[in-house]
């Protein structure tokens, strides 16, 4: 049965239905929880009908919930509503009640969707239930928001301007290290983090902390500050390693003129992180 045939079938089934049931969930609930709750209450409605040997179709536009229902995985990360739905679904199957789940994008062509939307709008001002559903997600968002306010307000923090120019991303975005799940050694993460925030063990930074007497590079005679830019782009002591680095960067950027000329710009692309780490590890080994 294709999508158009399904829509006709469901429309015919809904012709005589002029009522609906609404339920307000907690304001902290996620979209996934809301969609799963709707399916659970649909199954409860079928059970309350108490009519055996009937066929039912539950139409949902939530692909994520339907995929979770079709999965056989069992672990602590699965939403508890999925287990509740499966249990009730199994109970109904014992009474020869056949329930099918069908995905329809945005309920296209399904009569009754407007009624469902109207019902949802009428209950939106109802008081919230007392459950603490998805409270962890709400707390996480609040913590991220508070950290963002602190980040933008604390202008007196040393090196904040440098770190801000490197990060240059929304405070609630996915952390950079989430893109390197296959890398397990801690030194990679700590080295890249030090490079991003400007707190590395080179003379340029150590001199500002009064740890070393001079900010100049002790690996060459150029009388330049031993910064990351100097080590990566200029210091003559690491010419061979620099050629290897530039060869890898050329594969990333495609053309020599497209390779950034500062470490700040290089660090804006996570694809460069492994190449930069290998260069630093094989030269100054900042940690």
pLDDT tier for residue 158 given thresholds of 50, 70 and 90 = very low
Size of the chain, expressed as the number of residues it contains:
287
CB 21 within 8 A of CB 45: yes
Averaged pLDDT, 9-29: 61
pLDDT in tens, 57-70: 888 888 888 888 88
> Scanning the structure block, which residue is given the tokens 């975005």?
173
**Percent with pLDDT over 70 in the chain:** 67
Return the residue matching tokens 């499966």: 86
What CATH number was assigned to the domain covering residues 3-135? 3.30.420
pLDDT computed for residue 56 by the predictor? 87
Residue with tokens 């770190």: 163
Rg, the chain, Cα only:
29
Angle of helix 63-70 versus helix 31-49 axis, rounded to 10: 60
More confident residue, 61 or 15: 61
Locus of tokens 């340029």: 204
C-alpha dihedral over 164, 168, 171, 174, to 10 degrees? -130
The predicted structure's pLDDT at residue 272 = 94
How many CA within 13 A on the CB side of residue 189? 12
Enumerate residues 6+ apart whose C-beta is below 8 A from 129. 24, 25, 26
How many other C-beta atoms are found inside a 10 Å radius of the C-beta of residue 227? 20
* pLDDT band at residue 137 using 50, 70 and 90 as cut-offs: low
Q: What is the dihedral of CA 21, 24, 30, 35, to 10 degrees?
A: 0
- Whole-structure pTM value: 0.47
Separation of alpha carbons 204 and 123, rounded Å: 62
pLDDT tens string 86-121: 999 988 888 888 888 988 776 555 556 556 666 656
Inter-helix orientation angle 31-49/80-93, to 10°: 20
Q: What is the pLDDT of residue 1?
A: 47
CA 46 to chain centre: 36
User: 213: which DSSP letter?
Assistant: S
The 3-class SS string of 163-183 reads HHHHHCCCCCCCCHHHHCCCC
Instruction: Measure CA of the first residue to CA of the last residue in the chain; give whole Å.
Output: 63
* 37-46, 60-69, 161-170: range with lowest mean pLDDT: 161-170
pLDDT given at position 285:
79
Residues of the chain within CATH 3.30.420 domain(s) are: 3-135
Angle between helices 273-282 and 239-253 (to 10 degrees): 180
pLDDT value of residue 259: 94
């Amino acid at each position: 049965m294709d999508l158009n045939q399904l829509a006709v079938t469901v429309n015919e089934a809904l012709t005589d239905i002029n009522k609906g049931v609404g339920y307000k969930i907690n304001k902290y609930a996620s979209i996934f929880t809301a969609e799963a709750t709707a399916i659970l209450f649909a199954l409860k409605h079928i059970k309350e009908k108490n009519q055996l040997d009937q066929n039912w179709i539950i139409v949902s536009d939530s692909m994520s919930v339907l995929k979770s229902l079709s999965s056989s995985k069992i672990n602590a990360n699965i939403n508890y509503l999925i287990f509740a739905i499966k249990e009730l679904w199994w109970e109904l199957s014992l009474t020869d009640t056949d329930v099918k789940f069908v995905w329809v994008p945005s309920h296209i062509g399904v009569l009754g969707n407007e009624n469902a939307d109207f019902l949802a709008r009428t209950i939106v001002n109802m008081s919230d239930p007392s459950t603490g559903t998805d409270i962890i997600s709400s707390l996480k968002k609040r913590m991220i928001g508070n950290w963002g306010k602190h980040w933008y307000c604390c202008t007196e923090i040393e090196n904040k301007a440098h770190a801000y120019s490197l990060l240059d991303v929304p405070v609630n975005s996915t952390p950079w290290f989430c893109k390197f799940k296959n890398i397990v050694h801690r030194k990679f993460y700590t080295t890249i983090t030090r490079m991003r925030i400007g707190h590395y063990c080179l003379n340029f930074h150590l001199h500002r902390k009064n740890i070393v007497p001079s900010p100049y590079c002790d690996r060459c005679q150029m009388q330049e500050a031993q910064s990351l830019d100097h080590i990566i782009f200029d210091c003559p002591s690491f010419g061979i390693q620099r050629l290897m680095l530039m060869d890898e960067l050329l594969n990333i950027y495609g053309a020599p003129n497209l390779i950034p000329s500062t470490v700040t710009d290089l660090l804006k692309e996570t694809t460069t992180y492994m190449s930069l780490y290998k260069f630093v590890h094989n030269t100054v080994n900042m940690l």
